[in-house]
Structure 1
Amino acid sequence: MASLLNRPLSRRALLAGSAVAGVGLTGLAAGCTSSEETPSAQTPPGELRKTTYMTAFGLPGREAAGAVAKGKGFFKEAGLDVEIIAGAAGEKNYAAMESGKVDFGAVDWSGAVPRYAKGGKAVKIVAAIHAQTLISMVTLPSAGITSARQLMGKKIGVGAGAAPKSVFPAYASAFNIDQAQLNTVQWQEVAPDQVAGLLIAGQVDAIGLFVAGTPGVRKAAIGKGLITKDQDLVVLPYSDGLNDLMGNVLTARTQLIQEQPQLVRDFTNALMKGLDYAVKNPEESAKILAEQVPETDPEVAAAELTIMKSYVYPQDPAQPIGFIDVNRAAKGAAILEGVLQLPPVDVADMIDFSFVPGGTPAANPSAAK
């Protein structure tokens, strides 16, 4: 099977994504093909419409939804020929979409809100990938840290500019931790692919990661004799205190939404189908990913998908995967507005609910309240 990537990333860059939350820099694949070059209105009957999708960060197991949709034929069934590009996170992903090089991209909700608040309206959110935030603090059992309060006064490693640090005050406030206590935390910011190494090398007491990124860190810790095969890492999920924050969301270029709404709808539905299949069939999906990305560690990828399963489905079991509750989104945006001192965000404009699985706000019972 052909590789997903336009330009191969190094093994380090690809697999580092399995252990990093928030923004990072990995290299953007060149020569992307925008759907504007082959608009659906001009596509001959029976010919697949070309489009591009950029993952949030790299191509670890937690980013397997696109690979699964491709490998299982979900994209093809929707009439799409999708090029999947390993994301570089943060500004790099937005730049790729805003320039028209990439049509669809996965970005973290905690980064999407402040970008929109500051005028970044070239993309809109069309579905949730993670109904709950995956941001967490991770540490070794030997550190003796089992609660948010015990992180005070400790050294914490994070990716430079990443969400685990920027959102930390909101997470801490959920446990009645005041600013004076927050000031005792010592942050060490490094390149995203170096975060896990800080913990393994004993340079920090904890690190900020996506929960689904812990299998790779655990495997490294076992290899260094820091924990046994019977032990787990200590994980403190932000979702324990910030229940209204989503994780990654799917975005589409605003111009694409205006010009090719059916393509946006078809892609969104096919990707959600791939996401649903991936978390329900982690071992098979890890193998599918490995066929397209040879650097994949199937064991780690399957473990990531297994963990991610509890984070992708809506709180309302009657709603489909990808659903966004407009009221909950507003609450989540308000949390970020407060901690990051942002101007108010209109979630009904930032999110195009006409593409969100489950219907528009008018069809959403929560939105009518």
Structure 2
Amino acid sequence: MRFRRSAVAGVAVLALALVSACNDSETGQNGDTSLEKVSYLTSFGTFGREAYAYVALEKGYFKDAGFDVTITPGSGTVDVLKLVAGGQADYGIGDFTATVITLGNQKLPVTTVGMVQQKSMAAIVALEGGSINRPEDLPGKRIGDQPGSTNQVMFPVYAKAAKIDPEQTKFVANPPPQLPQLLSSGKVDGIGQFVVGVPLVEKADSKGRKAVVLPYGNLLPDLYGNTIITRNDLAKDHPDQVKKFTTALFKGLQDAIDDPAGAAKTLAKYVPNTNVDVATAELQLMKPYVKPDDFTGPLGEVDPVRVQKVISLLEEAEAVKPKGAMKPADVVNDALAPKG
């Protein structure tokens, strides 16, 4: 546990330095000093799943809304929450379930204002021919993941739904860029990964094996995926700014799922080491999580009733304590979320 705290703290310090450096820029990324400067953190790195923010930047959606947006790679939900809470970023992206768990156990002046994915993308990923093929195989296995990651924070909840003992599965701390190679080499039995990370995992495997995916959402269908995070004071004092920003971001999201290849190329313009094919595949996999077949609402929609179900689920799993203390309004500003 001591290692986990120190590792997360180290990542937070690094991310803080990166964000502070970006906020010190006089012109941001658009270079127009007449625009309002806004800072934004991706959920994690600059993978294909994050391309929609760069699409909104490239197509001028942020600029049309009056913003000069600086995009900085995030380092996981918990760190994004802390950086936004501390005023080092105005907006960020994080997994909603991990956000609820975090806010249920420590007070941070942040809220969420729209869902990027209507279904959770969290998963345990293994490779065919290995020792993990179903949730019941997880006890006794080693799972590589970054300390404090969404997949690790949520695992006890998933384990309870799978009727397995979470204490019998060991999470091994490793930096995310190394996870696909560790899995391929057999040094771990599985890795914590979003479903959209499968193309990267398969590309990294020297034997050409297909991924075995255990999505958390299969057993926990009420869970949302990523959500937009902002500070309470912005939501309260500048609701119009929040609405304009989220509207611009969701325009980029719509374009990204409509044209994954185009979004991947846009990402590559801003992040030159992007593998366009892998980024395209990630966005293709992400689309049904953003707009499931049975979803008829606007992009980003939030259902307070469903939020309460998520809270109740986490309380039952003892991931949030005490029971009954948290309400939907403690984690979501429904008034600022997109409406149909």
Partner of 1:196: 180
Please give the alpha-carbon distance, in whole angstroms, between the structure 2 residues aligned to 1:162 and 1:126: 21
Please give the alpha-carbon distance, in whole angstroms, between the structure 1 residues aligned to 2:255 and 2:320: 38
Q: Deviations over 1:318-355 (max 9, x none)?
A: 31010011111111122223332423321123211111
In structure 2, relative to structure 1, the CA distance for the partners of 1:23 and 1:155 (3 Å cut) is: farther
Work out whether 1:245 is the aligned partner of 2:223.
Answer: yes
Q: Which runs of 5+ in 2 are unaligned?
A: 1-7, 28-32
Q: Deviations over 1:271-308 (max 9, x none)?
A: 01111111111000000111111111111111110101
Q: Deviations over 1:118-157 (max 9, x none)?
A: 3434111000011111111111111153211122322222
Please give the alpha-carbon distance, in whole angstroms, between the structure 1 residues aligned to 2:108 and 2:153: 22
8 A contact 1:114–1:342 mirrored in 2: no
8 A contact 1:156–1:207 mirrored in 2: yes
Give 1:219-230 correspondences, 5 Å limit.
219-221=203-205, 224=206, 226-227=207-208
Q: What SS does the aligned partner of 1:245 have?
A: coil
Partner of 1:263: 241
Partner of 1:139: 126
1:306 to 284, 293, 297: 284
Q: Which runs of 5+ in 1 are unaligned?
A: 1-21, 39-45, 360-369
Partner of 2:69: 82
In structure 2, relative to structure 1, the CA distance for the partners of 1:24 and 1:242 (3 Å cut) is: farther
In structure 2, relative to structure 1, the CA distance for the partners of 1:102 and 1:171 (3 Å cut) is: same
Work out whether 1:347 is the aligned partner of 2:328.
Answer: yes
Structure 1 window deviating more from structure 2 (274-283 vs 316-325): it is 316-325
Give 1:118-137 correspondences, 5 Å limit.
118-137=105-124
Please give the alpha-carbon distance, in whole angstroms, between the structure 2 residues aligned to 1:289 and 1:131: 23
Partner of 2:160: 173
Partner of 2:147: 160
Shift of 1:263: 0.9
In structure 2, relative to structure 1, the CA distance for the partners of 1:118 and 1:184 (3 Å cut) is: closer
Work out whether 1:356 is the aligned partner of 2:337.
Answer: yes
In structure 2, relative to structure 1, the CA distance for the partners of 1:81 and 1:219 (3 Å cut) is: same
Identity in percent:
37
In structure 2, relative to structure 1, the CA distance for the partners of 1:315 and 1:306 (3 Å cut) is: closer
8 A contact 1:23–1:161 mirrored in 2: no
8 A contact 1:23–1:192 mirrored in 2: no
In structure 2, relative to structure 1, the CA distance for the partners of 1:121 and 1:99 (3 Å cut) is: closer
Partner of 2:3: none
Please give the alpha-carbon distance, in whole angstroms, between the structure 1 residues aligned to 2:300 and 2:180: 29
Please give the alpha-carbon distance, in whole angstroms, between the structure 2 residues aligned to 1:346 and 1:318: 25
Q: Which amino acid aligns with 1:58?
A: G
Partner of 2:44: 57
In structure 2, relative to structure 1, the CA distance for the partners of 1:23 and 1:218 (3 Å cut) is: farther
Q: What SS does the aligned partner of 2:196 have?
A: helix
Partner of 2:214: 236
8 A contact 1:121–1:350 mirrored in 2: no
Aligned length, in residue pairs: 320
Shift of 1:111: 2.0
Q: What SS does the aligned partner of 1:354 have?
A: helix
Please give the alpha-carbon distance, in whole angstroms, between the structure 1 residues aligned to 2:106 and 2:142: 34
Normalised by the length of structure 1, the TM-score is: 0.80
Please give the alpha-carbon distance, in whole angstroms, between the structure 1 residues aligned to 2:315 and 2:174: 25
8 A contact 1:312–1:321 mirrored in 2: yes
Partner of 2:103: 116
CA RMSD in angstroms, aligned pairs only: 2.4
Shift of 1:165: 2.8
